[in-house]
Chain A
C-alpha cells in the first residue's frame, strides 16, 4: 500500500519524462489526484492507536544492514496527507508555472512528491537518508528552472546549504552504523536503532550531526539564509512545495530521529535548541516586517513558525509535542494559502514588490478576502487552526520556563504586525487608475485555495481529528524519552479554539 503510494507519482514522473508529446499537465493532475485518493485510503485504513502500521520490510543492501522499510504512524500520516493534499492544489493554483517547459516542471513536481512521501514513510535510517538527499535534486531543478531572474544563483545556494547539511548527517549515519555493528549485526532499522545503547558521548556527537542537518532543512537561525532567497526567486507554487512540504522534513526528522534515537542527547541539547528556536521566532518575524518582496516576506515568516515548531518539540512535553505536530500541519495549510494568494496578486500586478502593489482591495474583493483569511491564519487568530497549535506550544513553553514563553509570545505580536501591515500596503489605499481593470480571482484560482480555507476554519473549531492522530504518537515518544505527563485533551484544545 505505502509502496504504491510512493510509486504512483514516481511512475507518473517517469511517464512524463519518457513519453514525448504528452500533455504533462493532464497527466500530472491525474496522477496527483490518484495519489490523493491513495493517501486518503491510507488514512481510512489507519488505526489511531496502532502505532507503526502498514509496515513493509525487505532487505535492500545486506552488506550494510539496510532495509527497504516503510511504515506509517500518527506523525507520518499527517505529513503524508499534507503532501498529497498540497501538491494537486499547487498544480491547480499555479496553473501556468510550467508553461515554459511543462515536461520538466510536472516531471520534477511528481518526483518531488514521490520522494517526499518516501521520506515521511521510511522506517530505515539509511533509506530515509537516501530519499532525504534525493528530494533535493527535483527541488533544485524546480527552483533553478522556474521563477524570476537570479533563480539559478538561489538554486545553487539552496542546494549547497542542503547538501552541506546532508553530508554532516551522513557522518552521523555512518557513525550509527559503526555503533550498531559494535553491538551485533549492523542494522539501520529505526526500531533496532531506538533500542540501541549508544554511549553518552557518542550519542551526543551523532545527535549533533542529525540536528545540524535538520536545522538547515527546517530552517532555523542562523542557517536560514537560503530560505529567503529561494522563496523570493522561485515560483509561489515551488515555494509552497519547499516550505510547506520539504521543510517539514526538518522538524519531522527532529521528532523521529533526534528524539527517537538520541533521547538523552536531545535533552542535553535542549537549552541551546530552545534558545535557537526563540531567536528564530523573534528574528524571523522582525526581518519579515522589513521585507518589501511579498514572497520573501512569507518565506521569512516561516522561519518564525519553524522556531515555534522546534520549541514545541524540544520542551519535552506531550502538549509541546502534539502542538508541534499540529503546527506542522497548520503551517502547511496557512502558509500555502498565503503563498498561492500572493502568487495570484503577483500575476495581476506583474511585480512581487509590496510597495508597487497598493490599493486593489476594491477591484479584487475576493482576492482581498482570501489574503486576509490566510494572513489571519498565519498570525494565529483564534478560530483558525494555527491558533490551536500555537496555543499548545506556548502553554508548553510556559511550563518549561516562563521567560521562554514570554519571549515566544512576542512572536505573535510581531506576526500581527507583519501580516496586517502587508495586507494594508497591498490592498488598501487609493486605487491607482492603471489597476482599475484588474480581474478578480477566477473560479480556478478560488477553487484551488478553497480547500485550504475550509481546512483552516474547520480545524480551527474542530482540531480533534488532528489531535487524536498525533496524541498516541507523542505519548509513545514521551515514554521513550522518559517524560511522563498528561496528554493535551481535545477539550483543552477546543477551548482554545473558542
Chain B
C-alpha cells in the first residue's frame, strides 16, 4: 500500500501548533524544573504562548484568500480536509485566545491566597488528612494547571475549526479532559470541587459517547466523516434518512451538553460552583465560544440543507433553556450558582441566534446574519462572564472566596468599585443598553425574528424580563440592603494587577462594545461565511 505524506499548512495552523507546543513544553518544565521556580516559568510560558498564538491568529487572519463557491468566504481547508481555517474560525480563535489570556492571568493570581495560587497544594492528598495539611503548610501549589489549560485551549481552537466529525470528536475530548481535571483542583472546599469534577466527568463522558454514536450513524448515512461530503449527501438525499436524523439528534446531545442547554444543563451549576473560580471564569467563556463555533459549523456546513429537520428541535431547546435558566436562577442564593443559571439562559439566547437566517440569498443587503449575531453575542457574553467571575475571586472572607448572597449584602457601601463593576457586568448580561450585552441581545433576537422564529423571540423577551428580576435583585442586595446584624460579611481583598487588569479589560470591553459596537461587528461581518 502506498503511503502518501499528508500536507500540513503549518503557517495557517500556527496558532493551534503554538498552543500545543507550549502545552507540551509545560509538561517538560513540570518534570525538570525545581518546584519553587515552576510557577513563574509556567505562568510566563503560558501567557507568552497565548500571546504568540494570538499574534499568529491575527497574521493568518490578515492573509486569508477568498474561497468558497460564491466567494462569500475566505480561507482554506487544511490538514487533508480535517481543519478549516476560514473567517469565522479566525474570529473564534481570537476570541478563545483572548479569554485564555484572561484565564491564565487569573490562574497566576497569588496575592489573594497570600502567596499561593487558588489551586490545591497536592491534589492527591485526601481532604482533611495530614498529607493535605502538610502540603498547605509547605505552600505547595499545582503548576500542572498551566499545561492543562493550554491543552484545553488547543481543544477549543480545534473544535470550531474541525472539517470532519472525527477531528471534531478528538477536539471535544482534548478540550474536555483537562477541564474535568482543572475543576477538581480547588484549594478551598475541596470536596465540593472534587464532586464537581466527578459530575462533570461522568456526564461529559456520557455525552461524548452520544456524540460518537451520532458520528457513526451519520457516517452510515453519508459514507464520510467530512462535513462537506455530509452536506453533499444531504443535498442529494441519500437513502436511510432515519440514520441522518438519529445522527443529528445524537451529535446534538454531545454539543448541547457542552454548551449547557436544557435538558443537558444539570451539571452547570454544580461545576460552576465547585470549580476554582478562575477555572469557572475561563471555562464559562471559552467553552461556550468553542462549542457554539462547532455547533454553527456542524449545523450550517454539515446539515445546512436539512434545516427543517433540526430547526424544530432547536426551537424547543432554545425555549426550554431560556426559561429554565431564568426561572431557576431566581431561587439561587449563591453568586456562582446564580451566574451558572444565567449562563444557561444565555445559552438559550445564543441558540435563538443559531435559529436565524444564514445564507446571503435570504437576506437583504447589509442585514446581519445569524453567524455574525452569534459571534458578537459570544464576545459580549464572554467578557461579561469572565469579568464577573474574576470579581467573585476577590470578594472573600476568612474561609476564602465567599459566594453566598448573605455575604455580599451591602457590598456597595463597603466597596463601591467592586460592587459597581459587578453590577455593570450584571446589567450587561441583563441586556441594558450602552453595554455589550444589549447589542448582542439585539443581534440574536433580530436574526431569529428575520427567520420568522417570532415565538422563540417572544419567549426570549419573556425570559429576559424574568432574568432582569434576579439581576436587579442582586444589585439591590449589594447597594440597598444592610447586612443582618451578626452575620459575617465578605470584604474585598486587594488582588494583584493580573486579576485587576483582567477585570478592567473586561469592563472596558463591555462598555466599548455597548457604545461603539461597530468595529467588532465589522470584524464579524468581514469574517464572512463558513467555507466547506
Contact = CB atoms under 8 A, between A and B. Distances in A.
Interface in B438-491: 438-439, 441-443, 445-446, 449-450, 457-458, 461, 464-465, 468-469, 472-473, 476, 479-481
Nearest to A183: B364
A144 B479 contact: yes
A28 interface: no
B446 A178 contact: yes
- Judged by DSSP, the binding face of B is helix
B517 interface: yes
B472 A159 contact: yes
A144 B464 contact: no
B366 interface: yes
A163 B468 contact: yes
Contacts of A60: 516, 518
A130 B438 contact: yes
Interface residues of B, number: 40
B157 interface: no
A177 interface: yes
A64 B472 CA distance: 28
B43 interface: no
Contacts of A184: 364
B434 interface: yes
B2 interface: no
Contacts of A141: 479
A343 interface: no
Contacts of B441: 170
Contact of B368 (A64, A136, A155, A164): A64
Interface string A162-201: 0110011011001101100110111000000000000000
Given A63-B525, A65-B366, A175 B449 contact: yes
A174 B473 contact: no
Contacts, number: 106
Contacts of A151: 480
Nearest to B445: A174
Given A170-B461, A185-B366, A64 B525 contact: no
A40 B105 CA distance: 52
Contact of A174 (B367, B427, B442, B521): B442
B432 A160 contact: no
Contacts of B518: 60-63
B366 A186 contact: yes
Interface residues of A, number: 39
B65 interface: no
A152 interface: yes
A69 B472 CA distance: 30
A164 B467 CA distance: 11
Nearest to B521: A63
A291 interface: no
Given A156-B473, A186-B364, A167 B461 contact: yes
A145 interface: yes
Contacts of B442: 64, 170, 174
B457 A160 contact: no
A122 B374 CA distance: 28
A134 B461 contact: no
B457 A171 contact: yes
B433 A130 contact: yes
B36 interface: no
A63 B517 CA distance: 9
A65 B366 CA distance: 8
A1 interface: no
B364 A155 contact: no
Contacts of B427: 137
A178 B447 CA distance: 9
A152 B476 contact: yes
A487 interface: no
B273 interface: no
A473 B104 CA distance: 59
A141 B424 CA distance: 13
A144 B368 CA distance: 38
A155 B434 contact: no
Interface in A121-141: 129-134, 136-137, 140-141
A131 B472 contact: no
A330 to B, nearest CB: 31
A152 B434 CA distance: 24
Nearest to A151: B480
A70 B445 CA distance: 26
Contact of A155 (B366, B372, B480, B522): B480
B476 A144 contact: yes
Interface of B: 363-368, 372, 427, 430, 432-434, 438-439, 441-443, 445-446, 449-450, 457-458, 461, 464-465, 468-469, 472-473, 476, 479-481, 516-518, 521-522, 525
18 contacts: A62-B366, A62-B518, A63-B366, A133-B433, A140-B472, A144-B476, A144-B480, A156-B473, A159-B468, A160-B465, A160-B472, A163-B432, A167-B464, A171-B457, A171-B458, A171-B461, A174-B442, A174-B449
